[in-house]
Amino acid sequence: MHKPLILIAEDDPDDALMLKDAFSEIYQDAVTFLSNGKLLIEYVNQLISQNELPSLILVDLNMPVLDGRSVIKELKSRIDTKDIPLVVLSTSKNKDDIDSVMALGANDFFTKPTSFSGLVSITTSIAGKWLNIKY
């Protein structure tokens, strides 16, 4: 059984490091970070050209170059990527933000927690729900 490949688009280096550590806590180390949505789309295209797909994609909403909404629109409109679970992890708690990304096709939405234990809890939940990994 191969490890699930998790792609994360996150422009904040501190948030990226905390996410990496949180996924390590739940034994998920096949995590690739990209600093914006454009790089994420390019990486997904590269994987597809090698007949691979990520198991899960996490995106931040507010990123430079290409934001989370644009990533969702792009990936959910394509036949080859529309079924990849796509989860938004954002500082936003705004109901309009949540509703809009869900309407675009995001599979789930989490507000970034203020504590590391909160982040581990979220990554555990995401892995259980979207990667079918039980802890």
Q: Domain locations in the chain?
A: 6-130
Nearest of 57, 44, 53 to residue 101 by alpha carbon: 57
- Reported as a single tens digit per residue, the pLDDT across 101-120 is 999 999 999 999 999 999 99
The encoded tokens of residue 33 equal 């970070």
Query: Counting every residue, how long is the chain?
Result: 135
State the pLDDT at residue 132.
Answer: 84
Pairing label, strands 56-59, 86-90: parallel
Q: 60-109, pLDDT tens digit by residue?
A: 998 889 999 999 999 999 999 999 999 999 999 999 999 999 999 999 99
Phi-psi region of 32 (alpha: psi -120 to 50; beta: other; left: phi over 0): beta
If one counts every other C-beta atom within 10 angstroms of the C-beta of residue 73, the result is 15
Band the pLDDT of 135: cuts 50, 70, 90.
low
Q: Please report which confidence band the pLDDT of residue 28 belongs to, taking 50, 70 and 90 as the band edges.
A: confident
Which CATH number does 6-130 carry? Answer: 3.40.50.2300
Beta bridge partners of 110: 89
- Total-model pTM: 0.93
Q: How many CB atoms lie within 10 A of CB 57?
A: 27
